[in-house]
Structure formats: C-alpha cells, structure tokens
Homo-oligomer: A and B are copies of this chain.
Amino acid sequence: MQLTTVKEIYRNREEYLDKEVTVGGWVRSVRDSKTFGFIVLHDGSFFETLQVVYHDTMENFQAISKLNVGAAIVVKGTLVATPQAKQPFEIQATEIMVEGDSAADYPLQKKRHSMEYLRTISHLRPRTNTFQAVFRVRSLIAYAIHQFFQEQGFVYVHTPLITGSDCEGAGEMFQVTTMDLNDIPKTEEGKVDFSQDFFKKPTNLTVSGQLNGETFAQAFRNIYTFGPTFRAENSNTTRHAAEFWMIEPEMAFSDLDDNMALAESMLKYVIRYVLENAPEEMNFFNSFVDKGLLDRLNNVLNSEFGHVTYTEAIEILEKANDKFDYKVYWGCDLQTEHERYLTEQVYKRPVFVTDYPKEIKAFYMKQNEDGKTVAAMDCLVPGIGEIIGGSQREDSYEKLSQRMKEMNLNEEDYGFYLDLRKYGSTRHSGFGLGFERCVMYLTGMQNIRDVIPFPRTVNNCEL
C-alpha cells in the first residue's frame, strides 16, 4: 500500500501540510464527543504519534468511536497545523478504514504495565513506548557498528555457530545433536556413539568467534564478526543471557594501543550515531528510564578515555578496600564494584585497564616482558563496568605452544591456530563487545531481558 509514514510527516512537515495524506497504523487511544472524535495513531515508523480528528459526517463514525486500543486503521485526510495545541499538527480525516479490529481483552490497555508483566507477552511488548524505543535503538546500534567497520574497510566474517571446539577451553556450553535423546546410541564400551550423530562428533554452540576470526585477519588484515554466541551458565542475573550477540574485530599488524584506539573510536561513533538518528528515543530514555543518560553519553563523546595498568589500578583500589565487598589484591580478578569505582569515582569517564596477570586471562594473550602479565585490556564505562575485553594476541609459536601446554590444552585441537604463528605471523590484536551490554549502556535499560526481542535465560525459552 502507498502510505505516508509518520516519520516522513514529522521530518518533512512543510511538504505535507495542507495536503492530503494516507497513513496506516495502530490506535493508541480514541475519545469521542457527540459529533467528532480524536484518535492517537502510532504507525511504528516513528516514536511520536499522530492525532487524527474525525467527524460524524463519516458513515462509520459510530464504529470508529467504538474501536479498541490496538486496532489497525488506514486514515485518509488533510494534514493541518495546530499551533495552539500540544502536538504540532493533526490529520482532519475524510475516510477511516478499519484494517483489523482489536479484541476487548487486548492486554496493552492505556495504563502502565510492569516490565515483569511485559516479559510474559514478548510478542506484544514491542508496541509499547519503552520497547519501541529500545528495539529501534538496538537496530540503529547494530547498523552503526557495521557502518563503522565497513567505512574503514574491515571485512565482516560470519564465524560458525555450531562448533567442535571450545575457544577458551572453558565455559558451560550447549550441546547440539540430532541423536534420539530417548535412545542415545552407545558404543560397545558403553559410551555415547557420536559416529551416529550428524557431524560424527560432539558439537556445541559457540562461545566466541575469535579464533576463527583470527584466521581471517591473517588474510584480510582487518575483520570483524557480529553474530550470536551462547553460554549455558546457570546464572539468573539482570546481566546474563544464554543467547546474545557479540562483535569481535581482529586486526593484523596491530598492537594493544591500536586495539584500544579502535575500541574508543568505535564506542564514540556508535554513541554519536544513535544521538543523531534517534533523538526522540534518547530523550525518552533520559526522561523516563535513566535521568543521567544524555549527560553521561555526551561526557564520553567529549573525553579521552583514561589508561591505567592493572598493577596501578590495584594500588588505587587497595586504598579504598573498606568500600568493597570483595577486597582487592594483586592477582585477583576485578569485580563489577571495583570496575565501577575506577571509572565512576576515580576517572569519571571510560578507562582502559591493561596488562593483567596472565593467570586470570586466556591462553592466547600476548605475554609481556615481565613474565607475569599479558597485553590484555578491559574497557570500563560508568554505569556498567566492563563493556569491552580484548588483547594483543601471542604471535610467537613457541610462547603460545608453551602456554597451551601449561594450561593443558590439547595441541591437536588448536593446530589451525598454531599454524597462524607458523606461516606469516603478525603482531595482532582484537576485542569483544557484548552487543546487549552495549544496548543497555546506550539506553539505560537495567535488565538484559528487556533489550533482547525474545530473551533466552535459564528456564526461559518462550516464543
């Protein structure tokens, strides 16, 4: 159907004023007096609504007045300016066609619903203001990330979801199988007979595309992944989901400084893009979800990120140990309370913590000269804590192979990964950005379940 969108009308109002337009959308409210009525219409293209005025000169005046919230209609009429009113313009309708009624038990009546309730109707909640804003901004962030990398010539790589290996030799993973769970085939020794499974071996859902990504960085120099990853962690928190999306850039001829520079410019690019392209949604978040949001994001845009080594950070944090549930000491992993203290109280802006003890980081991180730390970096932001984790990768065959032995990793599983250090190894680095954590950061939303269209968490896999 040829319809004018509400977005077009708001963005180019001069073109449409005093002209006939046809719009289609869903009724947010209807109120009528005896001879005329008002409809607030939302068409999904734009955060704001459009007011429609209709009169009893219309044949179906009575039917329209009885429409329930949520009904779908198509409205033909003239757009007129309303300088005296709250809204800038309205449609004087000449014709209203009902596209689809809304039954009396429509769950989204015009009142406030709790987030908990809305999670039980994930097929309808995108029709509410909050989720209109969240999921449009989610879409814009995703696009901004693609644009950022593509403009710089990065190659987008689809790393596999089903995998025979576990990237970090750790993590609780989902198994993937086509075997009959009622009757798992067994070998003569009584073990699972994976030769009868689809891939003839045990397979899992990926926890990271990094190692695969590195193989492409050694061919294309700069690449990024953007795809789903999975954790079968039994953690029922506001920050963990079993299925989430990750962005993992990887760059050849790149050290830890290059890596941090990329992360900083990416975050700034995405923030700027969303502020420019979703001002209505961002104002809504700032007013109703998180009052300090716009100040915080603008502060990030206008500041250079801080840099501190893990060792220095520990010295700073030790002085504040009385404030923490978990006391810090050199060698400990940083908790969210420590991360937030650093970025919110000490630096008051995003900060990179670098050069962590090798014992608390992954095997593939480049070993520093000191023999104790690795060239890792975490980017901490106010309100969240860690949002990005990355490192320069170990590019020496000998050191990598040695570290894998120390950590009891099976060299055979990583033959392809060692090959990268055997044939034209380069200094290279990369990081991972949890996409949902990024959406939470940019919207101020507090629960990961509310930034994923259909969230998967422990015990929960609806629709």
In the bound complex, CA of A431 to CA of B43 (Å): 21
In the bound complex, CA of A258 to CA of B192 (Å): 51
In the bound complex, CA of A453 to CA of B220 (Å): 13
Q: Is A20 an interface residue (CB 8 A)?
A: no
Q: A139-B157, A158-B452, A228-B228 are in contact. List 8 more A-B contacts (CB 8 A).
A: A1-B258, A5-B153, A45-B220, A70-B423, A72-B425, A99-B425, A135-B220, A143-B156
Kindly identify which residue among B1, B24, B72, B463 contacts A416, using a CB–CB cutoff of 8 Å. Answer: B463
* Chain B residues whose C-beta falls within 8 Å of the C-beta of A427 in the assembled complex: 1, 99
A49 to chain B, nearest CB (A): 14
Q: Is A123 an interface residue (CB 8 A)?
A: yes
Once A212-B454, A424-B102 are accepted as A-B contacts, the answer to whether A44 and B174 lie under 8 Å apart by CB is no
Please state if A456 and B199 are interface contacts (CB–CB under 8 Å).
yes
Q: Is A331 an interface residue (CB 8 A)?
A: no
In the bound complex, CA of A71 to CA of B132 (Å): 51
* Chain B residues whose C-beta falls within 8 Å of the C-beta of A218 in the assembled complex: 26, 127
Q: Is A184 an interface residue (CB 8 A)?
A: yes
Please state if A99 and B426 are interface contacts (CB–CB under 8 Å).
yes
* Chain B residues whose C-beta falls within 8 Å of the C-beta of A227 in the assembled complex: 227-228
In the bound complex, CA of A27 to CA of B426 (Å): 13
- Chain B residue, CB-CB nearest to A396: B100
Q: Is A266 an interface residue (CB 8 A)?
A: no
Kindly identify which residue among B44, B124, B178, B201 contacts A221, using a CB–CB cutoff of 8 Å. Answer: B44
Digit string of A104-116 for contact with B (CB within 8 Å is 1, else 0)?
0010000000000
Number of copies of this kind of chain in the complex: 2
Kindly identify which residue among B26, B158, B172, B242 contacts A453, using a CB–CB cutoff of 8 Å. Answer: B158
In the bound complex, CA of A175 to CA of B160 (Å): 17
* Chain B residues whose C-beta falls within 8 Å of the C-beta of A230 in the assembled complex: 161-162
In the bound complex, CA of A179 to CA of B192 (Å): 13
A/B interface sample: 30 pairs, CB < 8 A: A1-B253, A24-B221, A44-B220, A72-B252, A72-B424, A72-B426, A74-B253, A99-B427, A100-B421, A102-B422, A103-B423, A123-B215, A124-B419, A131-B219, A139-B155, A143-B150, A146-B146, A158-B245, A159-B454, A160-B453, A163-B461, A163-B463, A164-B463, A175-B178, A176-B205, A198-B234, A198-B458, A199-B456, A199-B461, A227-B227
* Chain B residues whose C-beta falls within 8 Å of the C-beta of A463 in the assembled complex: 160, 163-165, 212, 215, 416
Please state if B176 and A175 are interface contacts (CB–CB under 8 Å).
yes
* Chain B residues whose C-beta falls within 8 Å of the C-beta of A182 in the assembled complex: 184, 191-192
Please state if B175 and A254 are interface contacts (CB–CB under 8 Å).
no
* Chain B residues whose C-beta falls within 8 Å of the C-beta of A101 in the assembled complex: 424-425
Q: Is A232 an interface residue (CB 8 A)?
A: yes
Please state if B219 and A44 are interface contacts (CB–CB under 8 Å).
yes
Q: Is A136 an interface residue (CB 8 A)?
A: yes
Digit string of A161-191 for contact with B (CB within 8 Å is 1, else 0)?
1111100000010111111011010000001
- Chain B residue, CB-CB nearest to A255: B1
Interface residues in A381-439 (C-beta closer than 8 Å to B): 395, 416-417, 419-427
Please state if A423 and B124 are interface contacts (CB–CB under 8 Å).
yes
Please state if B453 and A157 are interface contacts (CB–CB under 8 Å).
yes
Q: Is A58 an interface residue (CB 8 A)?
A: no
Please state if A155 and B135 are interface contacts (CB–CB under 8 Å).
yes
Pairs A-B, 3 closest by C-beta atoms:
A100-B425, A44-B221, A126-B219
Please state if A161 and B228 are interface contacts (CB–CB under 8 Å).
yes
Q: Is A203 an interface residue (CB 8 A)?
A: yes
* Chain B residues whose C-beta falls within 8 Å of the C-beta of A99 in the assembled complex: 253, 424-427
A201 to chain B, nearest CB (A): 7
* Chain B residues whose C-beta falls within 8 Å of the C-beta of A421 in the assembled complex: 100
- Chain B residue, CB-CB nearest to A182: B192
Interface residues in A241-286 (C-beta closer than 8 Å to B): 242-243, 245, 252-255, 258
Q: Is A200 an interface residue (CB 8 A)?
A: yes
Kindly identify which residue among B1, B103, B124, B156 contacts A254, using a CB–CB cutoff of 8 Å. Answer: B1
In the bound complex, CA of A428 to CA of B136 (Å): 20
